Structure 1
Amino acid sequence: MKLRRPRRPPEYRLADSAQQIIGGFLLAGPFVVTEEVWTLAGNMHIAQALTIVAIVFTIGYAALYKADTTRDADDEQEVAGIPVRFISLMLVTFGSVTVLALLFGAPDTFLETESTGDLVLTTFKAVSVGAVFSVVGAATADSIFAK
């Protein structure tokens, strides 16, 4: 019987995050500057936004570990039991939408509110909508350029 050395998880590289960023920004842009998204967000209930966030997490996980049969979450580097690649994907997904929304001044452009709380809440809801598309771009770019 030959003893095998335990397989080490593949290193997560900065290039992996860069690929996610390109894909995430690419698909987030058009939704951040669309008035309809901000109107939709203004009319959404917080429960709807939280459900969308859960959907984004599900899409991201499925795209990384279920659609790509060469990758297994159990073989990845982890932080607190969560694959680093998945953590990066979620940070890129929500981060790219948030950064673009703020850089373009979308909340101030599309929202007519005096309340900071309403501004923040509606921005969160708009970011959740944009994240649905950003996660697809980020996960696709990550999978396409995977080694």
Structure 2
Amino acid sequence: MQLRRPRRPPQFRVADSAQQLVGGFLLAGPFVVTEEVWVLASNMHFWQALATVGLVFAIGYAALYAADSSRDPDLEKEVGGIPLRFISLMLVSFGSVTILALLFDAPDTFIEEAETTTRVAAITAKAISVGSIFSVVGAATADSVFAK
């Protein structure tokens, strides 16, 4: 009879964040520079933006832990009771869209000059929430596909 060492859960590493970044930026890019996303964002209500953010969280959690049975969120390192991998995924998902939107100057390009600063910020936040839906899919997929 051979004794086996218990299998340890994969630990979250810096390389995992790098994989998430690649996937997040890859899928976020086309949506940041699409005028339709900005028009959609300008017409969204506040509650729709919040629902979109909730959808990003749900997709991210499901992709990391429901779709990949080898991961157990209870066994991963946590910050405030939240798995570090999930925190990284959310930072990458929203952060990559935000960085690209600002880098490409998308708000000034797609939002009319007559809008107030507050309205521009609100539209930008809504556009980020829309783009993050696609970014989270790319980031979570890259994290799962390249997991060791």
Query: Where on the TM-score scale, by shorter chain, does this alignment land: which range?
Result: over 0.9
Structure 1 partner of 2:38: 38
Structure 2 partner of 1:47: 47
Q: Which runs of no fewer than 5 residues in structure 1 stay unpaired?
A: 1-5
TM-score, normalization: structure 1? 0.93
Q: Which runs of no fewer than 5 residues in structure 2 stay unpaired?
A: 1-5
Question: Residues 10 and 77 of structure 1 are in contact (CA less than 8 Å); yes or no, is this contact kept in structure 2?
Answer: no
The alpha-carbon distance between structure 1 residues 69 and 8, as it changes in their structure 2 partners (threshold 3 A), is closer
Structure 2 partner of 1:105: 105
Residue type of the alignment partner of 1:142: D
Shift of 1:7: 8.2
Alignment of 1:141 onto 2:145:
no
Structure 1 partner of 2:28: 28
Runs of 4+ in 1 over 6 A off after TM superposition: none
Shift of 1:9: 5.8
- Give RMSD over aligned pairs: 1.6
How many residues are paired up? 143
Residue type of the alignment partner of 2:55: I
Shift of 1:11: 3.1
Structure 2 partner of 1:19: 19
Structure 1 partner of 2:86: 86
The alpha-carbon distance between structure 1 residues 16 and 24, as it changes in their structure 2 partners (threshold 3 A), is same
The alpha-carbon distance between structure 1 residues 98 and 20, as it changes in their structure 2 partners (threshold 3 A), is same
Question: Residues 9 and 72 of structure 2 are in contact (CA less than 8 Å); yes or no, is this contact kept in structure 1?
Answer: no
CA distance in structure 1 between the aligned counterparts of 2:58 and 2:147, rounded to whole angstroms: 20
Residue type of the alignment partner of 1:29: G
Residue type of the alignment partner of 1:145: F
